[in-house]
A = this chain, B = another copy of it.
């Protein structure tokens, strides 16, 4: 007897899951909930009689043992998942927003019902990362994660690098190709990456992460000349999702663009690829990379979760003990203003004597040392561009210095401000 599966959502990933499991000897998709039953499906010989437009037909179906939620967003996904769990079903989801925002409520409900909620597909598409962290890496004290978790922004930054094209132009091209959505806010402003790094840090640090306190900054202010200067200084610019467990137990979790040294792994992750670097003891540093999204890569993770549950049903009274999220401690979230970083700062200055000296003085007043300083030729309007990279500095000091620079009569504008990875 095959384990019966109900699928909510038959979009890109749902279609990939359906195709992957079509001939499975272990499981069978018996019902699929969609918005529009009459829509043409890109599936050969699809049996439309299994379609419903009411997802509650699935979570309330007595024969279904695993509910797969692939519609995304908080509601109605949350209520559907809670109903499924309360009805004794296991749940597989790829819903990063829901897990990041309401993980506590969902995992508590799962535990109360002795059911599991798996969500490998929520982070980094087909790259195995959640199950490895929770199982084979479980003896580790994980202290740091550096990752590229959003394919859309990585595609845009790669294209801007390769073609020297401006952000708006590449975004519009990406939208035409289907790599960016009509409303790209969630991707380009860092929300998507923030959900994902919140999930990874929660399972890595075994603490609850307040998604509202994850600092995020997107890529819309990055200019082609920042990418060009970064290249000349030996760096690539990437949207990095980062999580660090400080010695005092506080969690520094954030998403922002970063200059990444060209010889590091993340600098080589291009276009829609994702990568995750995990540091911990005893494992040291490991890197996982691959396709971060798409019909089939994400389907690999979703079907892996489904088969993991299906293999336990009927064999144990407490399935997948390691895959449960039972930590209850809330992480103290470290404020971005308390962090220490290196910074890339681009300035448009007046082209007159003493500007570099003035810049040096403002740095010194604010306790900032510079490791690189580059002045580029004078523009037609008699302004010049200066690019600096600082040594390690406190975010508060840098912000104070940036204000002093903005107010200085030699400076027209701060045109670029990007943190630099060590």
Contacts and interface: CB of A to CB of B under 8 A. Distances in A.
Contact of A268 (B268, B284, B297): B268
B317 A315 contact: yes
Interface in A297-328: 297, 299-301, 303-308, 311-312, 315-318, 321-322
A287 B20 CA distance: 21
Contacts of A295: 282
Interface in A353-396: none
A282 B297 contact: yes
A135 B304 contact: yes
Nearest to A288: B288
Interface string A117-130: 00010000011101
A98 interface: no
B285 A291 contact: yes
Contact of A132 (B20, B136, B282): B136
Interface string A264-304: 01001000000000001111111111110011110111011
Contacts of A14: none
Contacts of A300: 136-137, 139-140, 280, 282-284
Contacts of A301: 136
- Chain A, interface size category, equals 35 or more
With most chain B CB atoms within 10 A of its CB, the pick from A128, A265, A268, A282 is: A282
A135 B135 CA distance: 10
A136 B123 CA distance: 13
Contacts of A312: 316, 321
Nearest to A301: B136
A282 B307 contact: no
A149 to B, nearest CB: 15
A316 B287 CA distance: 33
A9 to B, nearest CB: 17
A16 interface: yes
Contacts of A16: 282
A3 to B, nearest CB: 13
A131 interface: yes
B286 A128 contact: yes
A186 interface: no
A113 interface: no
Contacts of A337: none
A21 interface: yes
A157 to B, nearest CB: 18
Nearest to A19: B282
A42 interface: no
Contacts of A286: 126-128, 288-291
A207 B284 CA distance: 32
25 contacts: A16-B282, A19-B282, A21-B139, A120-B136, A127-B286, A128-B286, A130-B136, A135-B304, A136-B300, A136-B301, A136-B305, A137-B300, A139-B304, A265-B289, A283-B300, A284-B290, A284-B296, A284-B300, A286-B289, A287-B288, A308-B322, A311-B321, A312-B316, A315-B318, A316-B316
A-B pairs, 6 with minimum CB distance: A286-B290, A316-B316, A282-B296, A139-B303, A136-B304, A283-B300
Interface of A: 16, 19-21, 24, 120, 126-128, 130-132, 135-140, 265, 268, 280-291, 294-297, 299-301, 303-308, 311-312, 315-318, 321-322
